[in-house]
Amino acid sequence: MTTEALTSTEYIKHHLQNLTCGIGDGGFHCAHTPEEAQGLGFWALNVDTIGVSLVLGALFLFLFHRVARKATAGVPSGAQNFVEWVVEFIDGSVRGSFAARNDLVAPLAMTIFVWIFLMNGMDLIPIDWIPSVAQWMNLNHFKAVPTTDVNATIGMALGVFILVLFYSFKIKGAGGFFGELTLQPFGKFILLRPVNLILELINLITKPVSLALRLFGNMYAGEMVFILIALLPFYLQWVLSLPWAIFHILIITLQAFIFMTLTIVYLDMAHQEHH
């Protein structure tokens, strides 16, 4: 990047733009500027986000499936040991916070945790490597960390939200669910019921929004710091980037864990009947 004598602002802007492709004026093309990306409207795809998350998700499923297919009750191989360790960790978390019985929740939690962990982990790859390779392949923008794209986090949060709504309706019934929204805790006062409903709806909407924005915000901020460190002279970068990367290992794991735990908790709430 720096060889083209970009200014700091341009460098930062360049690193914060996705590879957004869609059908605009003049057929299918990829945006070169943020304005152009905006102009493509809703029906455009951030190819980098989709591509990286697809590759990472497929990698996770491929590796785990290879182990799962050959899983034996006998002495486990190293890979099986690792997979079992992950499975038991997830299973323990689910048992800890999910009271009902649902065979979906544990695999869901594992997918969320491992997938988000891998996507976050892309953050630890030195910041210019992947964009440089992309540049070489004539892709002018490339954000390697899918979770720094708000679309990705909203997409996953939306998935969780749909499950929360589905199980709320399924377990409590439509009446029970709306009753819960309108009658708690102000059900005794009829005049306060609309207020109750509004508050509860906000509470409900907050769940996916906070889920999406917490992950996005944390990863975006972390990425931002890496970009800023990258503006330093190359012989000074390691002074800051090394401690930040080490600290970031914690953030990566923690954010993946928080997303997973909150998903479990929200689904647990959807399964619980209030009395």
Work out how close the CB of 235 gets to another protein at its nearest, in angstroms, rounded to a whole number.
33
7 touches another protein (CB under 8 A): no
Q: Which of residues 48-87 bind another protein (CB under 8 A)?
A: 49-50, 53-54, 57, 60-61, 64-65, 67-69, 71-74, 76, 80, 83-84, 87
**How far separated are the first and last CA of the chain, in Å rounded?**
61
> Cα Rg for the chain, rounded, in angstroms?
22
Q: Which amino acid belongs to residue 70? A: K
124 in Cβ contact with 252 (< 8 Å) = yes
Select from 11, 15, 30, 46 the one that contacts another protein (CB under 8 A). 46
User: How far lies 258's CA from each of 65, 69, 248, 274, in Å?
Assistant: 25, 29, 15, 25
Work out how close the CB of 114 gets to another protein at its nearest, in angstroms, rounded to a whole number.
9
Backbone angles phi, psi at 158, to 5 degrees: -65, -40
Select from 149, 180, 200, 223 the one that contacts another protein (CB under 8 A). 149
Which residue ranges make up the site for another protein (CB under 8 A)? 18, 20, 22, 34, 37-38, 40-46, 49-50, 53-54, 57, 60-61, 64-65, 67-69, 71-74, 76, 80, 83-84, 87-88, 91, 103-104, 106-108, 110-112, 115, 146, 149-152, 154-156, 158-159
* Residues belonging to the active site: 210, 214, 218
